[in-house]
Amino acid sequence: MDIQAAHFYNKVVLFTTHSIALPRCSLSKKSTDELNHVLRETSFRDLPQVLKEYETDLMDGSKSFSEYMRTMFRMKHKRQQDIFLQAYISERHGYNLISGERRTSQRDIILRICYAAEFTYEETQKALRLYRMPELYAKDARDAALIVMFMDRPGSVLDVNPCLRKAGFAILKPCGTSQ
């Protein structure tokens, strides 16, 4: 194999089905449309290889959420205890949510944690996806207001509710330990 061919081979993953060559890169760096294209071109026989190739980037329910949140907290130099206090969530409840021991059906709780941890809009969207919650949707008026607040940061979690109320929207739901 000549040098040019070896260089090319190292940069692509060859799938024999459909005789296509796909760039070697993680799923998380591709758009959903690109991922759908890759998956449409993958045969069931090649699925184990594709899953192995992208295993670190595939969402894996609460385990991925937990790992993502803890990694983000570390990157932002935030202690979980401080985040839960700023989000007005009991520490015990917050730890149980982050660890995956408990689940909540209230997206506002995850939003409170993300806001208190100073997540960006994009980081918040990823946290919601990993938790299997609906992402903030720009065509929903309340979600649009929340998107602006994640981008503009009017203050603490406590400051978000008056902004939502002033705009005529429901406030971020308070959270307890029985959810």
- Regarding whether 136 and 99 lie in a shared domain, the answer is yes
- Regarding whether 85 and 154 lie in a shared domain, the answer is yes
Domain, as residue range, for 46: 3-53
- Regarding whether 97 and 27 lie in a shared domain, the answer is no
- pLDDT at residue 21 in the model: 39
CA distances from 153 to 25, 51, 137 (A): 33, 38, 18
- Regarding whether 121 and 69 lie in a shared domain, the answer is yes
H-run or E-run covering 15: strand 12-15
- Regarding whether 143 and 112 lie in a shared domain, the answer is yes
In a domain, 175, yes or no: no
In a domain, 33, yes or no: yes
In a domain, 177, yes or no: no
pTM for the predicted model, two decimal places:
0.67
In a domain, 103, yes or no: yes
- Regarding whether 66 and 48 lie in a shared domain, the answer is no
How are beta strands 20-23 and 12-15 bridged, if at all?
antiparallel
Low-confidence ranges of the chain (pLDDT < 70): 1-32, 35, 54-63, 176-179
Structural domains of the chain, count? 2
Digit-coded pLDDT (tens) for 30-82: 566 776 777 788 888 888 887 777 665 565 544 689 999 999 999 999 999 99
- Regarding whether 151 and 93 lie in a shared domain, the answer is yes
In a domain, 178, yes or no: no
Percent of the chain with pLDDT over 70: 73
- Regarding whether 114 and 98 lie in a shared domain, the answer is yes
